[in-house]
Amino acid sequence: MKDQQVAYIDLSTGEVKKKPIPESIRRSYLGGRGIDVYLLYNHLRSGIDPLAPENVLTVSAGLVGGTLAPSSGRCHIGAKSPLTGLIGSSNMGGFFAPELRFAGIDHLVITGKADYPIYLWIDNGDIEIRDASRLWGKDTGETPALIRSELGDEEVKTICIGAAGENLVRYANVISGLKNAAGRTGMGCVMGSKNLKAIAVRGRRDLPIAYADEALRYMEHLLRLMRENPILQEQSRLGTAMFQMMMDLIGKVRNRNLQRNQLADGQSLYAENILKFSTSMAACFGCPVHCRHRYQVPEGQYKGQWAEGPEWTTLGALGSETDCHRMEAVLVGNYLVNKYGIDSLDFGSMLSWAIELYERGIIDETITGGLKLQWGDEQLMYEMIRLVATRQGFGNVLADGPKRAVEKLGEKTAYYNIHVKGMSWLHTDDRMAPSHALGVATATRGADHLRSRPGSDAHMLPPDQAEKLFGFALPGMTGYENSGKLVRWQELIYAISDALGVCKFQALYMSPSAIGFGEYAQLVRHITGLDLSAAQMTEAAERICTLERMFNNREGASRKDDMLPQRYFTEPTPLGPEGMRDKLIEREKYELLLDEYYGAHGWDTNGVPTAETLARLGLDKEPSHAI
């Protein structure tokens, strides 16, 4: 671990330098998302344009990435977001981050802007800036193939952008492999603004294990927990799309933007219907679950092209939200968003918003460039993916994301755009679930479920068991009490997963028998030698979440930015079983939840960390510029 470094690369000057990571920073932030937010807070000044050369792009591996830790292939990418203007943060699986560690580097800090398209080539720690002019305009499948051919090594791992990143679509993503996507907050747009087409890496170094025998025995224990977990067993068979059926049956899917919360005849989008197209299941680095389907595009212009997925998020964004009921069409759409490098969640939400506006007569064909926007129109979906990625016609409006698109189309359209902090709401309808709604709204990177989705409230644990695991009684799906505490707890377990570079799906929130703070502490000790208790791991997570909050506060965000879309307070859910139907979020109770959530974090009623909290977490002297 002592050999791992931060590499600083200035694309404007070509300068490359490296620094070791102090143990104090490791103990405080661990790695991955944790050290990334430290680097961003220390090296970014507030108020800059996210598309300016002064923006800082970080690419990182987690603390235990690339080791024998289960599912240790996660990669984190950060910057100031061009979509929200706040913390940009995105995470993906695959094999890139382990390869980066094998090359002796844990974090990349990329500044400046190249004069022409380039890619970074990292060969066992040596970093070279290479001309990527011939790669510009290539899609996310062609780009890595051309790089591997140029370098003469099929084991090279890459991350890259497609047309959306090149054209500065504000929710452009970064792709590795067929489907690994750092999808949220527009990190592909930041790469495009720097003329950075791709990063390629090859490493041949060993990763030392502090206590190898103990680590092996402990890994056997963790793998047994994962293999025996019924949720992960089902995920191995169906992928994350397994959640679609359950969410639809209880009336928790977002359909026709936010007009309905349950699909009419939605069974065709259930995960079982992917199986007839699936040729095999694949996994990220070191993962025993194998949750991704491999398939060939079943129809249309791209028939026969290999693809992976779709994740539940994409199934919801391209299927449920747009009211597209054919699995074949979702599979085509999944291939296209990955080919062009577009965040499927923002795209599906923006398209659904536009269709509702058209349906209500708020916009017409003079605005859409002659396009008729209708629910379930598969060809429209395919065409809009292309138009958004290339910023042509009406696609140029949607490519700018919620806030800027509303500015272009008029304030009357704002009510129907479901977003928080400028990032589109995900594919679920959370009007009946206060903890879920609060978690999405308070997420530091904008409307998001991968910061604090409280799956724990579905466990239906007896109060004494919940108290033992979480420290308080769970609110249940529709309850308000303790929802603020639950969201804060959920944020902490997610922050640890992201900092270690392991998959969230193995964590305690998925199942009471899964991996928690204590197990993560033992994992870190066996692999790295850092002796941290469960309490110290929890404190590190608090530090990460609070520094992200400080980043946003510095950019002007406050309580007002943690507010739900207006429709959540005014329109009850029209469908679903008893207990889920006729539900909305009660505004006064939501305000109390915000107070509870802020209090649990040690922040004031405006969502700003108190002086006492900053001192307790050692954040009172940031930025400290330790690396």
Q: What is the CATH number of the domain that holds 181?
A: 3.60.9.10
**Model confidence at 516, in pLDDT bands (50, 70, 90)?**
confident
Question: pLDDT tens digit string along 116-141?
Answer: 999 999 999 999 999 999 999 999 99
**Which amino acid would we find at residue 103?**
A
Domain that holds residue 515: 434-617
Q: Are 236 and 290 in contact (CB under 8 A)?
A: yes
Question: pLDDT tens digit string along 562-617?
Answer: 999 999 999 999 999 999 999 999 999 999 999 999 999 999 999 999 999 999 99
pLDDT the model gives residue 187: 98
* pLDDT of 1 higher than 60: no
- Three-state DSSP at 297 gives coil
Q: Where are the beta strands (DSSP E) in 451-540?
A: none
Report yes or no on 217 lying in a domain. Answer: no
Q: Where are the beta strands (DSSP E) in 206-327?
A: 278-282, 292-296, 306-308
Question: pLDDT tens digit string along 537-553?
Answer: 999 999 999 999 999 99
Mean pLDDT on 3-11: 93
pLDDT the model gives residue 512: 66
**Look-up of token digits 């109060």:** 463
**Can you name the residues that pair with 120 across neighbouring β-strands?**
129, 199
Question: pLDDT tens digit string along 478-490?
Answer: 999 999 999 999 9
* Percent of the chain residues past pLDDT 90, beyond the cut: 90
Instruction: Say which residue, 349 or 516, is predicted with more confidence.
Output: 349
**Look-up of token digits 């959920």:** 490
Question: pLDDT tens digit string along 211-251?
Answer: 999 999 999 998 888 888 888 899 999 999 999 999 999 99
Question: pLDDT tens digit string along 37-57?
Answer: 999 999 999 999 999 999 999
371 and 459 co-located in one domain: no
Report yes or no on 250 lying in a domain. Answer: yes
* pLDDT of 28 higher than 60: yes
Report yes or no on 240 lying in a domain. Answer: yes
196 and 246 co-located in one domain: no
* pLDDT of 503 higher than 60: yes
Report yes or no on 519 lying in a domain. Answer: yes
Report yes or no on 337 lying in a domain. Answer: yes
**Can you name the residues that pair with 158 across neighbouring β-strands?**
200
pLDDT the model gives residue 45: 94
Nearest to 93 by CA among 497, 484, 399, 373: 497
Q: pTM of this prediction?
A: 0.97
pLDDT the model gives residue 351: 98
| Domain termination residue (choose one: 378, 401, 424) | 424
Rounded Cα–Cα distance for residues 272 and 314 (Å): 16
Q: Are 147 and 276 in contact (CB under 8 A)?
A: no
Beta carbons within 8 Å of 432's beta carbon, 6+ residues apart = 251, 252, 261, 477, 478, 573, 576, 579, 580, 583
Q: What is the CATH number of the domain that holds 362?
A: 1.10.569.10
Strands 196-202 and 118-123 come out as parallel
* pLDDT of 513 higher than 70: no
* pLDDT of 458 higher than 70: no
139 and 27 co-located in one domain: yes
**Model confidence at 265, in pLDDT bands (50, 70, 90)?**
confident
pLDDT the model gives residue 181: 97
Report yes or no on 219 lying in a domain. Answer: no
Joined together, the tokens standing for residue 271 give 């995960």
395 and 268 co-located in one domain: yes
Mean pLDDT on 97-118: 98
126: left (phi over 0), alpha (psi -120 to 50) or beta: beta
Q: What is the CATH number of the domain that holds 492?
A: 1.10.599.10
- If 0-12 CB within 10 Å is exposed, 13-18 middle and 19+ buried, where does residue 147 land? buried
| Domain termination residue (choose one: 424, 454, 470) | 424
* pLDDT of 457 higher than 80: no
Report yes or no on 209 lying in a domain. Answer: no
- Three-state DSSP at 483 gives helix
* pLDDT of 463 higher than 90: no
490 and 418 co-located in one domain: no
**Model confidence at 505, in pLDDT bands (50, 70, 90)?**
confident
pLDDT the model gives residue 511: 66
pLDDT the model gives residue 185: 98
Rounded Cα–Cα distance for residues 418 and 489 (Å): 25
Beta carbons within 8 Å of 224's beta carbon, 6+ residues apart = none
* pLDDT of 423 higher than 70: yes
Rounded Cα–Cα distance for residues 189 and 203 (Å): 27
418 and 441 co-located in one domain: no
252 and 293 co-located in one domain: yes
* pLDDT of 459 higher than 70: no
499 and 557 co-located in one domain: yes
- Three-state DSSP at 479 gives coil
Instruction: Say which residue, 375 or 516, is predicted with more confidence.
Output: 375
Mean pLDDT on 314-341: 98
pLDDT the model gives residue 477: 87
606 and 462 co-located in one domain: yes
Question: pLDDT tens digit string along 176-193?
Answer: 999 999 999 999 999 999
* pLDDT of 142 higher than 70: yes
pLDDT the model gives residue 522: 95
335 and 374 co-located in one domain: yes
- If 0-12 CB within 10 Å is exposed, 13-18 middle and 19+ buried, where does residue 360 land? exposed
pLDDT the model gives residue 398: 98
Domain count, the chain: 3
401 and 538 co-located in one domain: no
Report yes or no on 55 lying in a domain. Answer: yes
Give the mean pLDDT of the chain: 95
465 and 595 co-located in one domain: yes
| Domain termination residue (choose one: 184, 202, 220) | 202
